[in-house]
Amino acid sequence: MKHAIMFLMIVLAGFAFLSVAVAADTVNIYSSRQEHLIKPLLDEFREETGIDYRLLTGQGPALLERLRSEGRNSPADVLITVDVGNLVAAKQAGVLQPVDSDVLNRNVPAHYRDDEGYWYGLSARSRIIYYARDRVDPERIATYESLADAALEYGVCVRSSSNIYNQSLMASMIAHHGEEKALEWAQGLVDNFARRPQDNDTGQIRAVAAGECDVAIANSYYYGRLMDSDRSADQQVVERVALVWPNQEDRGAHMNLSGAGVTTSASNIEGAVRLIEFLSEQSAQAFYAAENNEYPVNPAVEPTGAVREMGEFTPDGLNLSDIEKYNARALQLMDRAGWR
């Protein structure tokens, strides 16, 4: 029902999008990134290239449903969305087409792009562990696996299994450990839940600060936002909650992406590719890092601001294109484990 409502809202918003004639030098964009995070870059792209754009924003699943429904008649040239799971779903739905770009292959490391060219990562984030400074020994929670320990004396907060971030984390567990061990991990994690999964990522961190749980799993940029906030309540959360970069002695911390691909229906393929290339270049990458506390995928650009203050860490080198093999199974195993 939730996705159906989101889809209806996007359909209604899209009437205006479809009603205006589109010039050949215009790129049509469907984006699940919030407008304030993408529009300044699109304005810069227009100024630099002379290519205009038209933007439709919405939730990732609803945009994918819209692309499926419109099929070859979709006006969209580019899909921009968050989480590799959504990128994989778009590829599997047949709404993206492969492209080969020397610029993108140079700017985006191989493990942050589809190995067939259907999508390219544009910014990265890590899904990490947070803990209450005054009551948790961080050495007890140094790995994702430790959160499923039957002897763990700490209660864990995390979002529901319907959340795509958690599905991708579970898919990475399958990639590293196989299905049987991944299921055991999910079952152990559920046993250690401090409460029923609820709320968003920031809510998990706040719950630790409030004493509702001792440990939480959430994306890195949410903590960065709290660090950057001028609100005293947010600063109190940061004072009470610290972070752990998981699995630093072995595979590294799980990574995820926002990214983009050229749609199957694209009428302006050249402009679409140029836009994605532009978003992978240094100026756009620096903007992502500064404005949303994310990690640039372009190795020529350094992290800035709050995420830099969060310290250096070893990221998981898993090729995120491999997530495609495991995403569907991940949700099935989470369901079997009782992760609702």
Whole-number Cα distances in Å, 326 to 196, 316, 322: 25, 16, 7
pTM of the model: 0.91
- Gyration radius of the chain's alpha carbons: 20
pLDDT tens series, the chain, 340 aa: 444 444 444 444 444 444 343 456 999 999 999 898 899 999 999 999 999 999 999 999 999 999 999 999 999 999 999 999 999 999 999 999 999 999 999 999 999 999 999 999 999 999 999 999 999 999 999 999 999 999 999 999 999 999 999 999 999 999 999 999 999 999 999 999 999 999 999 999 999 999 999 999 999 999 999 999 999 999 999 999 999 999 999 999 999 999 999 999 999 999 999 999 999 999 999 998 888 899 999 999 999 999 899 999 999 999 999 989 999 999 999 999 999 9
- Which residue's structure tokens are 């996705």? 3
The pLDDT, as a whole number, for residue 24 is 60
* One-letter amino acid for residue 191 of the chain: D
Separation of alpha carbons 81 and 34, rounded Å:
10
pLDDT at 200: 98
Dist. CA 23–CA 31, nearest whole Å = 20
Do the Cβ atoms of 182 and 174 come closer than 8 Å?
yes
Task: Please name each of the domains of the chain with its CATH number.
Answer: 2-15+27-124+255-300 (3.40.190.10), 125-253+325-336 (3.40.190.10)
Residue with tokens 């072995």: 250
pLDDT at 22: 46
**pLDDT score, position 280:** 98
Q: What is the pLDDT of residue 37?
A: 86
Alpha-carbon span 78 to 162, nearest angstrom: 25
